[in-house]
Structure 1
């Protein structure tokens, strides 16, 4: 009898209640079309959308007919770029959605997923100096070192001249090499850690287990596997912890959850090493030093958990998004040879005689910046709508009142395709960013780094890395895709991962 009562209680809570809430509709959300047949009733509907390889693209197609779509029982997606200011802008009453707590798990909140405004402001103040362009320029030598290591690997795989194509075994997956580059770079910049991934051509990292034995883990692969499994159920909210435990019954999902633990061990090990060096009195100039001490050298007293949380997001977001951006940028340039050659002419005129492009010579190149921004417009590394929640009293979005505690978002992928601001939205047209009378309005709708007070604090570093590396590669090499009609495939978990970028590489005769 007790078991029957428990079953009835669970049924009412998880099955009957959502249906009753849907029809009662006290927040008046039924006026908006559903993303799929169950979106208005249960958060489980999010799993249907996650099953799509590129779910935000599918949402974009739906948004062609509907300006506002109900993507979950208590969440709305907006198409109109005017909603960006109301949802993400400075002064917006909306704050990060509770989903960010699930993304974080049980540990300390980091600067990306912290919900509390005051706590976020505290974290941002700590890191603002480290992420300033002036400070990052002081660490340019770390980026240049990794560019030089990548160039050395590509030189070994490139063919001389351009008249004869290399055999198939000379195809290089630059998506993978870009990921090695960004992990090596951010580990050095954040922790003064030399992982050596570019030297070895592998993402393997060795860490000590609880018994003091070294175990090898594939950092990039395990980060991806952990993100895959979490992203499949993150949108289920109340169901999340139940589904997490149920999924562990299946070996394939259990191994993916274990990948998340392994990534945590790697982060903990690297933080240990860095803090041990600090304890020995080493004066190291890196991101973590900005968390350990302030600009005057005063000890901040942060606990170990918070230091690990910030280390984790630096290694993850600080590598993934830039690798994604680099992959899409090179792909679009190869697919648009006129843009490729125009950009080469610009960068080669600036860096003749340099093996690695100095940032001082490329940071103000207008066409280089336009190409980077156009690639970020077409393929933002985070394409989905970053979830915010209206305050308990509700909020006005584009003049329309939205009740309290409703999730709201504008997908970057959708905003970047507004035909009124971006004519021919599917075309790669860097020129649209140059001498355009609508540039101001375009930038208001350009949100690859989000917007307002919660915009990505690391946007400067990704721009510096892209400018230095892409200028160097275009000056030094020619590239081709497997065939003229080959297209890049993407997989969307939290980020928009390019599956692979197989290219043939020719080394040019250039003065260095």
Structure 2
């Protein structure tokens, strides 16, 4: 027994010596030692991990940039940037001879036993996958998909008109999620009726499972940074995580879709070229899962944010109402194509993306072999680098009155002539930017235009401070958004 205790004590001493030595190295000898940042963050990854797991990291980064400037050392081997140039340097297209910044595996490929998808594919795989998926997001496919998308938005309006007869206060967070999940379920998996959320006025059990997957992701990333991700990997292999249950459902749905005929959805291009791409059902399922997650929750989040910002800025809401209601003579005139003729609507959505970005955190990359220059500074190879969208979107160096909700900044208003609009890149830039950007804008415009045309909106008392205290993981953990909906009488 004494031998065991003695061995444990010596092991603890050795670990403490190593930990102290590592921290001394991080502060005084590390290649990033000259970059500013809090001492605690330079010493260890623990402070960053705590903020991440608590859902407060994007807001913490905003404070750090205000104190330390456009480049902040937020971990022993990690830098955060806040500038338009950094977007181009980290994520943008590279010139001949330059190397693309690879994605940080600790965020994008946490489970090495799973196949890769578009979001974490290697450089060679990514190009082939994107070319095939792009067919589903082309102008031709958008026109073919319009009846599908429009049918769900019309059903949303029908359901809202029905429920507001009994109760004008409705939780639009839920209704936006119902609509976007149904749409993406149809477009990604060929599931007629989507997930049935709008029909049933409630979440499909699978949709509830997806929200658990996203929340678990923040915790898992935090553990990865601490170097203790292996228990989570084993839990995934044993099927103990929400992620495992989600993948099993996607597997079944994708199998059904692969046996179906041709249709203008997102998987059609992959199915046609599955042999050439070496995509089995598992690989197809990973891409379908990505499309469902990226194409539903983010759109619903932005619509929730836009609704809150509009209802707390009545002058802006009034101007948008005038644009929508004067442009269309009937509900039938509001289509995916016609909503593109609403310039103030687009400005409101862009300003909502700035003030309430669906992905508030960073999209981490690794500096390539040999290092690279970011924002005029040389960054050593393998350094983790990113831009936190919440921080750069509220940086007073690039925005006039950044805390204000002012769509006019996107319409060449002289008051905002010094704004650097390219500081906001909600869909990222470069070869890995979001493939669904055009669909997201079209869907958001259509849903919001229909809501504005059919209803007067005001916030319920219990949602007047909706944004206060929210936590942001991979996505936002949003409270109910209760809005008083009064049907417009014509």
Q: Shared fold (TM-score greater than 0.5)?
A: yes
Distance in 1, matches of 2:212 and 2:462, equals 31
* Structure-to-structure mapping, 1:99-178, within 5 angstroms: 99-104=106-111, 106-114=113-121, 116-159=122-165, 170-178=168-176
Aligned-residue Cα RMSD (Å) equals 3.0
* Structure-to-structure mapping, 1:63-74, within 5 angstroms: 63-67=65-69, 68-74=71-77
- Match 1:234 to one of 218, 221, 225: 221
SS in 2 for 1:287: coil
In structure 2, do the counterparts of structure 1 residues 118 and 102 end up closer, same or farther at CA, with 3 Å as the change threshold?
closer
- Match 1:224 to one of 211, 228, 246: 211
Q: 1:208 maps to what in 2?
A: none
- Match 1:57 to one of 56, 59, 73: 59
Whether 1:498 aligns to 2:478 is yes
In the TM superposition, residue 266 of structure 1 has moved relative to its aligned partner by 1.9
Distance in 1, matches of 2:148 and 2:38, equals 45
In structure 2, do the counterparts of structure 1 residues 10 and 308 end up closer, same or farther at CA, with 3 Å as the change threshold?
farther
Q: Deviations over 1:201-255 (max 9, x none)?
A: 1222xxxxxxxxxxxxx22322222222231231333624245379x7xxxx9x9
Whether 1:21 aligns to 2:22 is yes
In structure 2, do the counterparts of structure 1 residues 97 and 300 end up closer, same or farther at CA, with 3 Å as the change threshold?
closer
Q: 1:275 maps to what in 2?
A: 258
In the TM superposition, residue 270 of structure 1 has moved relative to its aligned partner by 1.1
In the TM superposition, residue 406 of structure 1 has moved relative to its aligned partner by 0.3
Q: 2:395 maps to what in 1?
A: 418
In structure 2, do the counterparts of structure 1 residues 494 and 10 end up closer, same or farther at CA, with 3 Å as the change threshold?
farther
Distance in 2, matches of 1:112 and 1:4, equals 49
In the TM superposition, residue 5 of structure 1 has moved relative to its aligned partner by 6.9
* Structure-to-structure mapping, 1:377-396, within 5 angstroms: 377-396=354-373
In structure 2, do the counterparts of structure 1 residues 101 and 339 end up closer, same or farther at CA, with 3 Å as the change threshold?
closer
Distance in 2, matches of 1:101 and 1:15, equals 32
In structure 2, do the counterparts of structure 1 residues 413 and 349 end up closer, same or farther at CA, with 3 Å as the change threshold?
same
Q: Which 5+ residue runs of structure 1 have no aligned equivalent?
A: 160-165, 205-217
In structure 2, do the counterparts of structure 1 residues 117 and 472 end up closer, same or farther at CA, with 3 Å as the change threshold?
same
In the TM superposition, residue 335 of structure 1 has moved relative to its aligned partner by 0.9
Q: 1:435 maps to what in 2?
A: 412
In the TM superposition, residue 182 of structure 1 has moved relative to its aligned partner by 0.6
In structure 2, do the counterparts of structure 1 residues 440 and 355 end up closer, same or farther at CA, with 3 Å as the change threshold?
farther
Distance in 2, matches of 1:258 and 1:142, equals 33
Contact 2:358 / 2:475 at 8 angstroms: preserved in 1? yes
Q: 1:193 maps to what in 2?
A: 191
In the TM superposition, residue 340 of structure 1 has moved relative to its aligned partner by 1.0
- Match 2:269 to one of 290, 312, 315: 290
Q: Which 5+ residue runs of structure 2 have no aligned equivalent?
A: none
In structure 2, do the counterparts of structure 1 residues 79 and 101 end up closer, same or farther at CA, with 3 Å as the change threshold?
closer
Contact 2:368 / 2:382 at 8 angstroms: preserved in 1? yes
In structure 2, do the counterparts of structure 1 residues 134 and 16 end up closer, same or farther at CA, with 3 Å as the change threshold?
farther
Distance in 2, matches of 1:182 and 1:228, equals 19
Contact 1:388 / 1:408 at 8 angstroms: preserved in 2? yes
Whether 1:181 aligns to 2:179 is yes
In structure 2, do the counterparts of structure 1 residues 172 and 434 end up closer, same or farther at CA, with 3 Å as the change threshold?
same
Distance in 1, matches of 2:333 and 2:480, equals 25
Q: Matched residue pairs, number?
A: 475
Contact 1:351 / 1:358 at 8 angstroms: preserved in 2? no
